[in-house]
Amino acid sequence: MKVAHDRVCVVFISTNDVLRSDFRWRIACCLKVPRHGIDSRTRARFCPFDRSASHSFVKISGNLVSDSLAFLRNFIRQPGAIGAIAPSSDGLAQMMVDSVDWSTTKTLIEYGPGTGVFTQKIAESMRPGTKFFAIEQSPTLAALTRSRAPGTVVYEDSVANVVDICQRESVQQVDAVLCGLPWASFPVSLQQECFDAMLKVLKPGGTFATFAYWQGLLLPAGLRFRSRLKQTFSEVKHSPTVFRNLPPAFVYRCKL
């Protein structure tokens, strides 16, 4: 019997390795694999390390392959502005939108939507009448966001200009900011500029959610950013880890 195959991009992650500083991962691009899934032999071939560990995988197919390639190209051009080699997973997107109290949120801004993974979840989650727009500096990624979440207003601009953008939207204060920017990779001066601008529009008691990679907490930049959050917000919590993300990540949930 002939077995049908799809061309997909498969990412294998060893969850045990996530907890070590020598975290490793492998990507098997455009493999021909059976539509019913990945067999143990294929899995073993691309995850030879840590055979006793539980392995998870993220399967990216269809339009997501194009999104991933676009994201990777932008990362190569601007690694400091992108901060990751692949779009965020659906699980991380859900964790982000779960940080918002949709019953009280009337105005929300998304920073750095990338390929629109979070944007799509926001559009699905927000209540009718909620004011929502996104700010993305890359024209390529802004176009992908508009394609994934039609009807969403996406400004091709820097988040440092959020005050001016809010004025254009006739918004004085916002209830929440969801952020996909790689804060830890920003220079301290740029971090300060963006935070200062955000604090001018985020209302007292407003919420700020952003994600980070666990291995980043081993680095000085990641520790500095965590310290900045604690100095800025009255409440800083973090979500459970999303292991089915490349790399595994968690969400900072902050309240002003």
When mean pLDDT is compared across 40-49, 156-165, 180-189, the lowest value belongs to 40-49
CB within 8 Å of 39: residues ≥ 6 apart: none
DSSP 8-state symbol, 129:
T
Residue 124, helix vs strand vs coil: helix
* pLDDT for the residue numbered 169: 97
When mean pLDDT is compared across 79-83, 233-237, 243-247, the lowest value belongs to 79-83
Same domain, 100 and 25: no
Range of the domain at 222: 90-255
Q: Give 218-227 contacts, CB < 8 A, sequence gap 24+.
A: 218/21, 219/184, 221/184, 221/185, 222/184, 224/184, 224/188, 225/183, 225/184, 225/191, 226/252
Same domain, 151 and 214: yes
Same domain, 159 and 217: yes
Residue tagged 């820097």 (tokens): 158
Compute how many other C-beta atoms are within 10 angstroms of the C-beta atom of residue 185.
19
Q: Give dist(CA 49, CA 192) in Å, integer.
A: 41
Supply the pTM of this predicted model: 0.69
When mean pLDDT is compared across 48-52, 153-157, 175-179, the lowest value belongs to 48-52
Same domain, 99 and 195: yes
Quick one: pLDDT band at residue 40, thresholds 50, 70, 90?
low
pLDDT tens column, 3-32: 444 333 333 333 333 333 333 333 333 333
Residue 40 covered by a domain: yes
Same domain, 52 and 110: no
pLDDT tens column, 66-121: 444 444 454 445 443 334 445 668 899 999 999 999 999 999 999 999 889 999 99
Mean pLDDT of the chain: 75
Residue 69 covered by a domain: no
Residue 163 covered by a domain: yes
Domain count, the chain: 2
Calculate what percentage of the chain has a pLDDT beyond 70.
66
When mean pLDDT is compared across 14-28, 93-107, 172-186, 238-252, the lowest value belongs to 14-28
pLDDT higher than 70, residue 198: yes
Minimal CA–CA distance to 125: which of 147, 91, 101, 90? Answer: 101
Final residue of a structural domain among 61, 76, 106? 61
Residues 65, 148, 245: CA angle, nearest 5 degrees: 50
Q: Give dist(CA 23, CA 219) in Å, integer.
A: 14
Q: Give dist(CA 142, CA 123) in Å, integer.
A: 16
Same domain, 118 and 216: yes
Amino acid at the residue 31 = L
Same domain, 226 and 112: yes
